Amino acid sequence: MSARHVPAVLRERREQDIARLATLLEVIQPIEGYPKSRPESLEAFVRDRRVIGAWVIEEDGVVMGHALIKQRSLGGIDDIVHEHTTWPKDRLAEISRLFVATEARGKGYARTLLRHCASEARRLNYLPYLDVDMATPAPRALYASEGWQSLAITTLSFPSGISLEVDVMVPPGT
Ligand SMILES: CC(C)(COP(=O)(O)OP(=O)(O)OC[C@H]1O[C@@H](n2cnc3c(N)ncnc32)[C@H](O)[C@@H]1OP(=O)(O)O)[C@@H](O)C(=O)NCCC(=O)NCCS
């Protein structure tokens, strides 16, 4: 029997997607530490109050991946990007909340989401940027393979007491 072709669709996130996305993070967070420490509400974490735009990848009508662009990150990351690029802080868009269901990995969904977020940010006249936990090889390999460049490595400290060493990155040609 031949494998059934499952079409993947990228579309804007809807409010009805939030519960499913939080369910995906329920699985991902304890295994892969994304996010590093479990927030009080995974739904609030994925919804994000500072969102500019958010997208999902669907496989056969089932949401399998997500990413968004947002304004203002924690811990002065946008200051670092501003200092290195001279882009005004209110024209910076962080690519964030990028994750793919464990059962849908390795199909290029994260790459598609990353590229879409970057091009949407550019279209809206923002400079896209991101930060990545130095301890997570999969996303770091993705960003490197897309030619993203490191601006600085810095330490983020959270109110929970957890701290995180992150690489602050911008797209090629910035
Ligand atoms: C990182 C993540 C989003 C990748 O999702 P994905 O859809 O499987 O990734 P893709 O199929 O688009 O892979 C694109 C590239 O990323 C890199 N990559 C992805 N998974 C990898 C892994 N486990 N190990 C090494 N490199 C990996 C590879 O360069 C890959 O290209 P290739 O397939 O040509 O080798 C997924 O592993 C995930 O959800 N992780 C937990 C959440 C997280 O860490 N998010 C990032 C926050 S900064």
Average pLDDT over residues 42-68: 97
Task: Say if ligand 1 is within 6 A of residue 138 CB.
Answer: yes
Q: Kindly state whether residue 14 falls inside one of the protein's structural domains.
A: yes
CA–CA separation, 100 and 103 (whole Å): 8
Residue bearing the CA closest to ligand 1, atom 24 = 138
Checking if the pLDDT of 6 tops 70, the result is no
Output the six-digit token pair for 82: 């501003």
pLDDT single digits (tens) 80-92: 999 999 999 999 9
Q: Kindly state whether residue 102 falls inside one of the protein's structural domains.
A: yes
Q: Kindly state whether residue 35 falls inside one of the protein's structural domains.
A: yes
**13 Cα to the center of ligand 1, angstroms:** 20
Q: Longest Cα pair distance anywhere in the chain, in angstroms?
A: 57
Closest atom of ligand 1 to 145 CA is: 29
Q: Kindly state whether residue 135 falls inside one of the protein's structural domains.
A: no
Domain that holds residue 76: 8-128
Checking if the pLDDT of 1 tops 50, the result is no
Q: Kindly state whether residue 69 falls inside one of the protein's structural domains.
A: yes
C-alpha distances in angstroms, 82 versus 69, 112, 137, 140, 169? Answer: 17, 26, 26, 22, 12
Q: Kindly state whether residue 146 falls inside one of the protein's structural domains.
A: no
Total structural domains in the chain? 1
Torsion sign (Cα): 11, 12, 16, 17: positive
Q: Kindly state whether residue 174 falls inside one of the protein's structural domains.
A: no
The pTM of the full predicted model, rounded to 2 decimals, is 0.96
Average pLDDT over residues 93-118: 98
Checking if the pLDDT of 172 tops 90, the result is yes
CA–CA separation, 37 and 29 (whole Å): 8
CATH number at residue 50: 3.40.630.30
Residue at token pair 């993947």: 8
Average pLDDT over residues 48-63: 96
Q: Kindly state whether residue 173 falls inside one of the protein's structural domains.
A: no
